[in-house]
Structure 1
């Protein structure tokens, strides 16, 4: 039975990370105010939220499977206090930190209409910290981290997020976001 839980934990962790990558990319695109290819801004936003929610659900499945797997030696306390786990405490601790950040970011997404924009954005910016922590957790603690296919997924994910991050920092992105903000406020750029 432990093999089943281990397989579920591995698979759900990888799927969660891929969905988190997609969510981060879609969030960067949505924040730009531009449509991307055939995707409207509404569709981008809907996909961003859907990927985020699915990532959280798969992360929850990952954690539940690890708790059920006696070989993994993960305990409830490990979900709250990072870096004290029995197996690779540093890498497991990154998973705990990532999980807690994921919950905070997801909760702000769900409560967006009830939070001030600065609070929402401030907490939501933790996504830029959450994602590399999740990647590092997978590389340091993942059973498949040494597999070529896993490394290819990781390298492609890093390249995509790096490209999106560079694009976000370009003047073109900033100019477009500024123009959108000015238009929203009723001024001309």
Structure 2
């Protein structure tokens, strides 16, 4: 049985991919909402309480589906990942780099969730500093999905990734627009950063996941690169 046929006959693979895809969509919505309405860009029609509640609910749903994604991957007999890989990055023998990026994203989000539960004890300034990690988790999680996803080349999946990129870019563009003329340097730097992400993703897709045999070559390359670290 070929690798594709083995995956197609495995319901855990479908559950893993579905959980990861939904988690990415929800994380995209969480990050985009946080960017668009943060600071002085908060909407005037909807109250801050409602926006904050929606933001927290989206974040909680993201973690729930991420938990499903991790659990089904950990018990899948095809990959033999185990539970250690879920919290310790780059320790897997199966696509270690790309799975490691997913672990890094999960660890960042877990840190945000734990500190949010301890927000009153930590204080707003410390909590806010850790909270910014959620924004870093989004691109890391996106590259994890692009690099390790066996369905990355499917048109639907590509359109979904493009929509996620466009959503976050639009939110960032709106935030930069609302920053005002007094923040020219921040707007320029933010604009360059926003533009660099889709360019990097497009270049990565063209040179990697969209090429034939990517999954096999990526596994071999990452094993060779990370083998000396273990």
TM-score (norm 2): 0.69
Alignment of 1:162-173 (within 5 A): 162-170=169-177, 172-173=178-179
What CA distance in whole angstroms lies between the structure 2 residues aligned with 1:95 and 1:19?
15
Q: Which residue is equivalent to 2:16?
A: 9
SS in structure 1 opposite 2:152? coil
Q: Provide the aligned C-alpha RMSD in A.
A: 2.1
Q: Which residue is equivalent to 1:99?
A: 106
Q: Does structure 2 retain, via aligned residues, the 8 Å contact 1:19–1:54?
A: yes
Q: 1:140–1:21: structure 2 CA closer, same or farther, 3 Å change rule? A: same
SS in structure 1 opposite 2:179? helix
Shift of 1:174: 6.0
Shift of 1:30: 3.5
Q: Does structure 2 retain, via aligned residues, the 8 Å contact 1:9–1:62?
A: yes
**Deviations 1:91-141, CA, capped at 9 Å, x for gaps:** 000011011011011222222232212111110111221000010001111
What CA distance in whole angstroms lies between the structure 1 residues aligned with 2:103 and 2:48?
33
Alignment of 1:35-46 (within 5 A): 35=43, 39-46=46-53
Shift of 1:145: 1.2
Q: Which residue is equivalent to 1:83?
A: 90
Q: Which residue is equivalent to 1:185?
A: none
**Deviations 1:15-73, CA, capped at 9 Å, x for gaps:** 1110101111121234235227x644322211110010010011111111011111022
Alignment of 1:26-175 (within 5 A): 26-33=33-40, 34-35=42-43, 39-170=46-177, 172-173=178-179
Corresponding residue pairs, total: 173
Q: Does structure 1 retain, via aligned residues, the 8 Å contact 2:85–2:92?
A: yes
SS in structure 2 opposite 1:81? coil
Q: Which residue is equivalent to 2:27?
A: 20
What CA distance in whole angstroms lies between the structure 1 residues aligned with 2:50 and 2:150?
35
